[in-house]
Amino acid sequence: MTTDLDRATVEEAYARWAPVYDVVFGAVFEAGRKAAIKAAERIGGRILEFGVGTGIALPSYRRSNRLVGVDISEPMLQKARERVEKEGLSHVEGLVLMDGAHMGFADNSFDVVIAQFVITVVPHPEETLDEMARVLKPGGEIILVNHLGAEDGPRAAFEKWFARKARKLGWRPEFQFARLHNWAVRNGSVDLPIKRDVGLGMYTMVRFRKRTEAEMAAASDTGAVALAG
């Protein structure tokens, strides 16, 4: 059974990670970051970097995009602000302290929502995904890249055993793809997720496309016909 994280645990964990995050995880996560950014820039436009952290990915985006970053950790955001100022990242519109499950943006505000190594560590993943879908424009994409838990076998057993210890680090290693698939089915505003490996079996990119109003209406009509039959 999955035990979710609470906000206080996440904030405490990432306050500790903030001073060393780039050194510890910069190279480790680089391939996943590059793959996610490449996918996001196929759409381009106004991009929400959810869980922007220290802003390590921000310089990698083309300046033709407009970026907004949010994070739950003030110490991580402070690192991001310093990076934006030092590197003159004029394509960054703002960096905001915000709870992902209650974002203060209007509906349909972004062309892409991207979350790199984040969704498995937020306190309320499904509520956060609901918010991502709400602020995303129809036809846009939610792009996630993460380590996802194994479905079975020795790695699954280890991740389940390690889960309780990992909570103190702000991690949820047993989080599986099925949880993302089930969210998409329940939410109904996005297509079923597409996934592919982007890190030699360790990292997975997952993409959700938000349906247009016409597609939503068609899906609703199809469901009504099916129920009538």
What's the pLDDT tens digit per position in 117-139?
888 888 889 999 999 999 999 99
DSSP-derived pairing of the beta strands 136-146 and 204-209: antiparallel
Torsion of CA 137, 115, 10, 121, to 10 degrees: 110
Residue 15 sits at φ, ψ, to 5 deg, of -65, -35
Task: List strands edge to edge, sheet with 110-116.
Answer: 92-97, 66-71, 46-50, 110-116, 136-146, 204-209, 194-197
pLDDT of 148-196, one tens digit each?
864 656 554 545 544 555 445 544 555 789 999 999 999 999 999 999 9
pLDDT band at 19 (very low <50, low <70, confident <90, very high): low
DSSP-derived pairing of the beta strands 46-50 and 110-116: parallel
Instruction: Count CA atoms closer than 13 A to 55's CA, side-chain side.
Output: 26
What is the reported pLDDT for 10? 58
Q: State percent of the chain over pLDDT 90.
A: 55
Residue 60 sits at φ, ψ, to 5 deg, of -80, -15
Q: Quote the mean pLDDT of the chain.
A: 82
What is the reported pLDDT for 148? 82
What is the reported pLDDT for 18? 56
Q: State percent of the chain over pLDDT 70.
A: 72
d(CA 229, CA 227): 5
Q: Which helix (H) or strand (E) holds 4?
A: none
Give me 43's structure tokens: 């759409």
More confident residue, 63 or 15: 63
The mean pLDDT value for 60-74 works out to: 95
pLDDT band at 229 (very low <50, low <70, confident <90, very high): very low
Instruction: Count CA atoms closer than 13 A to 57's CA, side-chain side.
Output: 29
pLDDT band at 11 (very low <50, low <70, confident <90, very high): low
The mean pLDDT value for 14-21 works out to: 56
What is the reported pLDDT for 128? 95
The mean pLDDT value for 22-28 works out to: 56
More confident residue, 225 or 220: 220
d(CA 47, CA 41): 9
Using the predicted structure, report yes or no on whether residue 4 has a pLDDT greater than 70. no
Q: Quick one: CA dihedral 157, 162, 72, 146, positive or negative?
A: negative
Q: How many CB atoms lie within 10 A of CB 105?
A: 17
Question: How far are the Cα atoms of 62, 64, 107 from residue 41, in angstroms, in the given order?
Answer: 8, 10, 21
What is the reported pLDDT for 218? 83
